[in-house]
Amino acid sequence: MTAMVSLHDVTKVFAASTAKGAPVHAVDGVSLDIERGDVFGVIGWSGAGKSTLVRLINALERPTSGRVVVDGVDLTELSERGLRPARAGIGFIFQQFNLLRSRTVAGNIAYPLKVAGWSREKRAARVAELLEFVGLSDKARQYPDQLSGGQKQRVGIARALATNPALLLADEATSALDPETTKDVLDLLRRVNQELGVTIVVITHEMSVVSYLCNRVAVMESGKVVEQGSVYDVFSRPERDITRRFIGSALHDRPRADVLARLRQRHPGRIVTVAIRESEGDSGVSLTERLRAHQVDGAVVYGGITEVGARPLGSLTFALTGDDARIDALLADLGAHTEVVEHREVTA
Amino acid sequence: MRDDLWPVLWTAIGETLQMAVSALVIGGIAGLLLGIALYVTRPGNLLSNRPVFYVLNILVNIVRPIPFIIFITAIQPLTLAITGVSIGIGAAIPALAIMTTFGTSRIVEQNLVAMDPGVIEAARAMGAGPLRIIATVIVPETLGPLILGYTFLFVAIIDMTAMAGAIGAGGLGDFALVYGYQRYDQAVTWTAVAVIVLLVQVAQFAGNWLARRVLRR
């Protein structure tokens, strides 16, 4: 079975905005495959090119070079008119919701159905079904201005799903929402994926969104995809600094320099950070067993462990006291199984 | 004011309204289309077309600054060709409608530029074509501000109809000039002023009310 979305060496260059400025390579030689049923995260800081990337997938932007294939259809070969039915088969939700303020909630959800030429009766039935699905049946006659941010995004999702698309694109869909509402919307997206079987592409700058929702991820920096794979693999074995920074931004598990300085003042011994990953089997229990085996005393002084794709990920920082040779042996032992970083004191 | 002038005043009010409403309807519709054309052909927009945009833009910039009193006399040959008359209401309406068209186009364009382009992107993402987007997104989403814009225009049109009075178009401007200014009768002039102020107030009130209803505020 072919991939839901295939990008082949896709590049998008925007002309310089000023006469003297250089052209901007928003997306630079990106190739990736998104399989059916995936919840695929694209993570990057703002300006990394991820919003342009997602707009290439539904051809709101045309690539400068490369091919974009969605559901077996090469979008780069279609005319602007030919793209319209293709776009109608791809749902899109926006950070700022982009609801029509002049239409009611029901009117907004019915809009794509009108575009697709559904009859009035079929539209009404489908709108009622969608309102039920997103839990807003009582808001049908209200206008977007009367809704909260989370409710507006639910309408956005219902509207995007109206024509039964096989693919849903979400551009920073939760970035304008508070944490509680974010979780509700992510849960709804998860239902869209699991109950309706819709493939979802999630654009975000928030690691927590990726770890909560996605099974696969691509990390973007300066228009390029610098790492991609299963969420757990990418985040448990980051190869790039940018990926480590995203993990740190979500976990806060590794002590910063100022925290380290305080830890040193407070605790005697050597300060060591040990990565916690599922595959090594290095749970907290086995760590304490190893400490005992090497006759080293260790106090947990910092750390954080969370779940990514229902598997543990994080790190613990110890203050180790005891014979230096024994500590070295312990670190060598641990280092054979997982990532170990000793924070040596910087001597002036 | 002399009692025998009242019927003349009533006729003048009728003429002014006839000119103003004709100009608002003809120029309002033509101006809406021209304003939409200016907006959608603007580089980077829905039907981005640099040559068309520049031609329209320059055309509007040429016509709009011409003082109306000069414009109405300058296009008299055209008016004669269209209506067959060169004085009276019929002679004033083409000039009023043309000037209203160009004035409207700028007001429409300004309101559209201020609209959040995100809704247009959303409609494109749903597979809607440009004409559908214009009719079902751009116009409805800006209707409130557009109504206020048209209210503003109506007031400007009343102003222009008074000037049309100078070339014998009839209406309140003509009434004030002929019976007030030329006969040194200040009471007549001020009566005309009072009627015009009243007309403008009613128009502004109606426009505000309608815009509020559309905006649901």
Minimum Cα–Cα distance from A143: chain B residue: B216
Residue-level pLDDT, tens digit, chain B, 217 residues: 778 888 989 999 999 999 999 999 999 999 999 999 999 999 989 999 999 999 999 999 999 999 998 998 898 888 888 888 777 888 889 999 999 999 999 999 999 999 999 999 999 999 999 999 999 999 999 999 999 999 999 999 998 998 888 777 788 888 888 888 888 888 889 999 999 999 999 999 999 999 999 887 6
> Edge-to-edge, what's the strand order for the sheet holding A73-74?
A24-34, A5-14, A65-70, A73-74
Decide: B126 and A88 in contact? Cβ < 8 Å.
yes
Give the integer Cα–Cα distance in Å for B125 and A333.
55
What is the structure's pLDDT at A15? 86
- Sign of the dihedral through C-alpha A181, A183, A186, A187: negative
Mean pLDDT of A229-240: 88
When mean pLDDT is compared across A119-133, A317-331, B165-179, the lowest value belongs to: B165-179
Decide: A174 and A206 in contact? Cβ < 8 Å.
yes
Which of A54, A50, A5 is CA-nearest to residue A26? A50
For residue B137, the chain A residues in CB contact (below 8 A) are 100
Which of A59, A60, A79 is CA-nearest to residue A71? A59
Which phi and psi (to 5°) does residue A136 adopt? -125, 30
For chain A, how big is the Rg over CA atoms in Å?
Answer: 24
Minimum Cα–Cα distance from B119: chain A residue: A98
Partner-chain contact B122 A92, CB within 8 Å = yes
**DSSP H stretches of helix in B6-128:** 6-41, 50-63, 68-74, 76-83, 89-113, 118-125
Give the integer Cα–Cα distance in Å for B95 and B74.
9
pLDDT above 90: percentage of residues in chain A: 63
Partner-chain contact B143 A102, CB within 8 Å = yes
For chain B, how big is the Rg over CA atoms in Å?
Answer: 20
Decide: A43 and A219 in contact? Cβ < 8 Å.
yes
Give the integer Cα–Cα distance in Å for B178 and B139.
43
- Sign of the dihedral through C-alpha B95, B100, B103, B104: negative
Give the integer Cα–Cα distance in Å for A214 and A200.
9
For residue A115, the chain B residues in CB contact (below 8 A) are 123, 126-128, 132
Candidates B47, B126, B143, B147: best to mutate against A (most CBs of A within 10 A) is: B126
What is the structure's pLDDT at A348? 47
Partner-chain contact B141 A102, CB within 8 Å = yes
Closest CB from A85, A99, A143 relative to B127: A85
Candidates A52, A101, A143: best to mutate against B (most CBs of B within 10 A) is: A101
For residue range A278-294, what is the model confidence (pLDDT) as tens digits?
Answer: 765 545 557 888 888 89
Write out the H or E segment, with its range, that includes residue A300. Answer: strand A297-308
Number of alpha carbons in the 13 Å side-chain half-sphere of residue A25:
11
Residue A145 contacts B where some CB pair is shorter than 8 Å: yes
Give the integer Cα–Cα distance in Å for A101 and B193.
40
Most confident of A328-332, A340-344, B146-150: B146-150
State the nearest Cα–Cα gap between A88 and chain B, in angstroms: 5
**DSSP H stretches of helix in B165-185:** 171-175
Minimum Cα–Cα distance from B137: chain A residue: A100
For residue A102, the chain B residues in CB contact (below 8 A) are 140-141, 143, 214
Decide: B188 and B5 in contact? Cβ < 8 Å.
yes
Mean pLDDT of A224-228: 94
Which residue's entry shows tokens 């400068």?
A64
What is the structure's pLDDT at A104? 96
What is the structure's pLDDT at B169? 79
Q: Looking at chain A from residue 89 to 118, which residues have their Cβ under 8 Å from any Cβ of chain B?
A: 90, 92, 94, 96, 98-103, 111-112, 114-116
Give the integer Cα–Cα distance in Å for A337 and A332.
9
Decide: A88 and A112 in contact? Cβ < 8 Å.
yes
For residue range A161-195, what is the model confidence (pLDDT) as tens digits?
Answer: 999 999 999 999 999 899 899 999 999 999 999 99
Decide: B118 and A79 in contact? Cβ < 8 Å.
no
Candidates A102, A104, A152, A175: best to mutate against B (most CBs of B within 10 A) is: A102
Decide: A103 and A109 in contact? Cβ < 8 Å.
no
> What is the token pair recorded at B140?
């409805």
How sure is the predictor about A347, in pLDDT bands with cuts at 50, 70 and 90? low
Quickly count: other Cβ atoms within 10 Å of residue A176's Cβ: 16
Which of A212, A240, A162, A207 is CA-nearest to residue A39? A212
Which residue's entry shows tokens 């086995």?
A286
What is the structure's pLDDT at B97? 95
Cα B133 to chain center, whole Å? 25
When mean pLDDT is compared across A10-19, A123-132, B29-38, B204-213, the lowest value belongs to: A10-19
Which of B205, B77, B101, B91 is CA-nearest to residue B151? B205
Cα A78 to chain center, whole Å? 30
Closest CB from A103, A112, A145 relative to B126: A112
Which of A49, A174, A45, A161 is CA-nearest to residue A7? A49
Q: Is the pLDDT of residue A1 over 80?
A: no
Give the integer Cα–Cα distance in Å for A215 and A308.
9
Quickly count: other Cβ atoms within 10 Å of residue A141's Cβ: 10
Q: What is the pTM for the complete model shown?
A: 0.86
Mean pLDDT of A51-79: 94
> What is the token pair recorded at A271?
């300060």
Q: Is the pLDDT of residue A64 over 90?
A: yes
For residue B216, the chain A residues in CB contact (below 8 A) are 143, 145
State the nearest Cα–Cα gap between B26 and chain A, in angstroms: 26
Helices (H) and strands (E) in chain B — how many of each?
11, 0
Q: Is the pLDDT of residue A245 over 70?
A: yes
Q: Are β-strands A39-43 and A199-204 bridged in parallel, bridged antiparallel, or unpaired? A: parallel
Decide: A298 and A291 in contact? Cβ < 8 Å.
yes
Partner-chain contact A60 B136, CB within 8 Å = no
Which of A269, A276, A336 is CA-nearest to residue A306? A276
